[in-house]
Amino acid sequence: MAVELLDTNGLKCPQPVLKIAVKAADMKLGDILEVVGDCPTFERDVRVWCERLNKVLLSIKNEGGYKKRIQIQF
């Protein structure tokens, strides 16, 4: 089970979600993707993406301002 990091700081919606979608193709079942982003709608976007694609949203950590760190399990 691998943990991959994806930095989307500075990217605005919907770019973070598209980056996650591209990265998801390389993820295996059980792998964890940790995504960092500072787009104001970042959390909402990732939540919807996980819901639609049946991925597990493990955690959301506020890092000040809009910046958040989200863990997704595949």
Partner 1 sequence: MGKVRCWEIFQCKEKGCPAYKSRNLRCWLFSGTHCRDEIQDKFIDKIEMCLDCKPFKKNLDMPSMKNTCKVFNVQLKEYKQIVEDRDKELENISMDLAVGLSEVFDALKKISSGDPLVRIPEISNIELIAKLKHLVNLTAQNIEEIVDLSHEFAIGLAEHFDVLHKVSRGDFTARVSDSSKEELLRALGKVTHEMIESVSREITDRKRAEDRFRQVAQSGGVWIWEVDGSGLYTYSSRVVEKILGYTREEIVGKKHFYDFFEPEVMAQLKEEVFGVFYRKEDFKNFIYSSIHKNGHIVFLESSGTPVLDVRGNLLGYRGVDTDITERKLAEEHLRKSLREKEILLRELHHRTKNNMQVISSLLDLHSINIEDKNILNIIKEVQHRIKSIALVHEKLYQAKDLSDVNLKDYIMDFAHALLKSYEGSQGKVYLKVDVDDIFLSLDTITPCGMIISELVSNSMKYAFPDSRKGEITIECHSADDGGVELRISDNGIGLPEGIDFRNTKSLGFKLICKLAEDQLRGTVEKEGGKGTTFLIKFREIKKGKVL
Going residue by residue from 38 to 67, which x/- string records binding to partner 1, judged by CB under 8 A?
-xxx---x--xx--xx------------x-
**How far is it, in rounded angstroms, from Cα 4 to Cα 23?**
9
- When asked if residue 72 is in the footprint of partner 1 (CB under 8 A), the reply is no
Q: Are 16 and 27 in contact (CB under 8 A)?
A: no
Q: Are 42 and 25 in contact (CB under 8 A)?
A: no
* CB of residue 21 to partner 1, shortest distance in Å: 3
**How far is it, in rounded angstroms, from Cα 43 to Cα 50?**
11
Q: How many residues bind partner 1 (CB under 8 A)?
A: 20
Q: Tell me which residues touch partner 1 (CB under 8 A).
A: 12-15, 17-18, 20-22, 24-25, 39-41, 45, 48-49, 52-53, 66
